[in-house]
């Protein structure tokens, strides 16, 4: 079981060279990732760039002696800004692809060269779309630009795929290694229009984020996979209008938690208190602003060890209906009516079943998906199976990954 790293062409995802990164760390959330490295042996935390020795581009004999040094043009052909990407994969015995399971891909950014090495960071797929705009080639002009794009009757993920496709594969020279699933998928959403004159608000990352953040909006993100044996591609993945969470039909993996050993070692269980009163504001200015209040003070009046009062605010200036504002407050009140918890734990990727296969190989669970945690013997939780939602995966050059779940409301 091991990590692999590959340089690729940024536009096509073609693998150009396997590289060695001795020390690194990464983090994946539902829609994006972060990736950083430290030089081997330094033990420094907080580095925000990847360090790659130039010697990796030279040719060596079996004893490590240099046969030929790479020329500047050869090096720049592999790590050219705007031209190169980097993929990280995880492999194990029996892995379907000897290149490994793709875990992340990004385009090289912020490169800085030194005498012996180069450093750079990675821009994830969603960040690349921050510099792509929802406007047709040839539809923006000197003078005025009146072109309007419009779709009607699509699902939210279908609309997102149309916008993404427009800004990549439908633009001259706009190709990126993205597969825009769900194009044309029907839904119940009304007409959506995007006018060229509003270009400042048409970057694709913002538009996809806004669609995901709408009421009951679906999770959206990108997941790298192999297009063939030499190309990596990023699948656009999104939940449906009917179920806003990713992989809703997938059987969730079950992790065991026990003081005597399990497949998930809990490192912390963080708690937040309940919030009993919510104040909301909607559209309007000054004294004409729409307001709403939602509260449940039943526990506060209890004679049996009542909690203290917590209050919070919520604002959405686009809401013009008081009842809609009220419903949003009631949803927040319900979500915080009891203390909530967030579980963090580590998984050893080397844990195996009796047949030698990994119990929970990396790539079998992803941020945004459901998992189960069978918890026994934890001092502040009842023994039970807890259905949870995975929100973040942190990893490094070791074979341990850290999982962080969404908040949940244990029965205490």
pLDDT tens profile 143-158: 999 999 999 999 999 9
Q: What is the pLDDT of residues 349-381, one digit of tens each?
A: 999 989 888 999 999 999 999 999 999 999 999
Measured between alpha carbons, how far is 31 from 25 in angstroms, rounded to an integer? 18
In a domain, 411, yes or no: no
Yes or no: say if 11 and 175 are a contact pair by the CB < 8 Å rule: yes
Q: Which residue among 128, 143, 174 closes a domain?
A: 128
Residues 142 and 24 in one domain: no
Yes or no: say if 211 and 159 are a contact pair by the CB < 8 Å rule: yes
Residues 153 and 258 in one domain: no
Measured between alpha carbons, how far is 31 from 41 in angstroms, rounded to an integer? 32
Which are the contacts of 304, defined by CB distance < 8 A and separation ≥ 6?
A: none
- Distance set, CA 31 to CA 118, 363, 383, 390, 409 (Å): 28, 15, 32, 13, 24
Q: The CATH number of the domain where 215 resides is what?
A: 3.55.50
Residues 18 and 117 in one domain: yes
What pLDDT shows up at residue 49? 58
Backbone φ and ψ for 163, nearest 5 degrees, come out as -65, -45
Containing domain of residue 81, as a range?
A: 2-128
In a domain, 328, yes or no: yes
Q: Which residue among 75, 105, 128 closes a domain?
A: 128
In a domain, 247, yes or no: no
Residues 158 and 227 in one domain: yes
Number of domains in the chain: 4
Yes or no: say if 362 and 398 are a contact pair by the CB < 8 Å rule: no
Sheet holding 15-19, edge to edge: 15-19, 2-9, 84-91, 101-113, 117-124, 50-53
Residues 118 and 136 in one domain: no
How close are the terminal C-alpha atoms of the chain, in Å?
40
Measured between alpha carbons, how far is 124 from 367 in angstroms, rounded to an integer? 15
Ranges of the chain whose pLDDT falls below 50: 37-48
Q: How do beta strands 178-179 and 232-238 pair? A: parallel
Residues 110 and 138 in one domain: no
Q: Is 16 in a helix, a strand, or coil?
A: strand
In a domain, 248, yes or no: no
Which are the contacts of 273, defined by CB distance < 8 A and separation ≥ 6?
A: 307, 308, 310, 339
Residues 370 and 296 in one domain: no
In a domain, 243, yes or no: no
Residues 321 and 356 in one domain: no
Residues 20 and 104 in one domain: yes
Residues 120 and 150 in one domain: no
In a domain, 151, yes or no: yes
DSSP 329-387: HHHHHHHTSS-EEEEEEEEETT-B-TTS-BSS-TTSS-TTSEEEEEE-S-TTS-SEEEE
In a domain, 410, yes or no: no
Residues 17 and 117 in one domain: yes
What's the CA angle centered on 23, arms 8 and 396, to 5 degrees?
90
Residue 14 pairs in a beta bridge with 231
What pLDDT shows up at residue 40? 30
Q: What is the pLDDT of residues 19-77, one digit of tens each?
A: 988 778 888 888 665 555 443 332 222 234 578 889 999 999 898 899 999 999 999 99
Closest CA to 234 of 97, 32, 99: 32
What pLDDT shows up at residue 158? 96
Residues 206 and 262 in one domain: no
Q: Which two tokens stand for residue 389?
A: 């939602």
In a domain, 176, yes or no: yes
Q: How do beta strands 101-113 and 220-226 pair? A: unpaired
Q: Which residue among 289, 320, 335 closes a domain?
A: 335
Q: H-helix or E-strand containing 167?
A: helix 156-167
């Amino acid at each position: 079981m091991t990590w692999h790293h590959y340089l690729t062409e940024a536009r096509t995802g073609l693998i150009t060279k396997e590289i060695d990164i001795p020390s690194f760390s990464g983090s994946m959330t539902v829609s994006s990732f972060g990736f950083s490295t430290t030089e081997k042996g330094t033990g420094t935390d907080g580095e925000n760039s990847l360090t790659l020795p130039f010697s990796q581009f030279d040719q060596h004999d079996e004893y490590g002696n240099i046969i030929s040094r790479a020329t500047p043009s050869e090096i720049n052909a592999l790590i050219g800004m705007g031209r190169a990407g980097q993929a990280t994969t995880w492999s194990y015995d029996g892995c379907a692809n000897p290149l490994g399971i793709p875990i992340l891909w990004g385009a090289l950014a912020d490169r800085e060269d030194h005498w012996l090495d180069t450093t750079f960071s990675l821009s994830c797929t969603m960040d690349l779309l921050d510099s792509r705009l929802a406007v047709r080639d040839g539809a923006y002009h000197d003078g005025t630009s009146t072109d309007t794009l419009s779709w009607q009757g699509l699902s939210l993920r279908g609309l997102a795929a149309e916008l993404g496709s427009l800004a990549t594969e439908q633009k001259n020279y706009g190709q990126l290694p993205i597969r825009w699933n769900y194009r044309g998928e029907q839904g119940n959403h009304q007409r959506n229009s995007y006018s060229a004159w509003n270009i400042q608000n048409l970057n694709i990352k913002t538009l996809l984020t806004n669609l995901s953040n709408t009421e009951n909006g679906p999770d959206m993100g990108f997941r790298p996979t192999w297009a063939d044996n030499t190309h990596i591609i990023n699948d656009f993945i999104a939940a449906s209008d009917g179920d806003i969470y990713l992989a809703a039909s997938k059987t969730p993996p079950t992790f065991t938690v026990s003081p005597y050993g399990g497949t998930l070692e809990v490192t912390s269980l963080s708690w937040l208190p309940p919030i009993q009163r919510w104040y909301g504001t909607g559209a309007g200015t000054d004294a004409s602003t729409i307001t709403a209040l939602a509260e449940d003070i039943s526990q506060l009046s209890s004679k049996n060890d009542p909690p203290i009062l917590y209050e919070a605010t919520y604002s959405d200036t686009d809401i013009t209906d008081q009842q809609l504002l009220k419903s949003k407050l009631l949803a927040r009140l319900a979500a915080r009516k009891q203390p909530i918890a967030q579980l963090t734990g580590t998984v050893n990727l080397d844990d195996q079943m009796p047949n030698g296969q990994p119990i929970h190989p990396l790539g079998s669970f992803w941020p945004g998906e459901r998992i189960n945690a069978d918890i026994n013997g934890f001092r502040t939780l009842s023994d039970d199976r807890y259905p949870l939602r995975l929100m973040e995966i942190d990893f490094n050059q070791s074979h341990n990954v850290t999982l962080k779940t969404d908040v949940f409301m244990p029965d205490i």
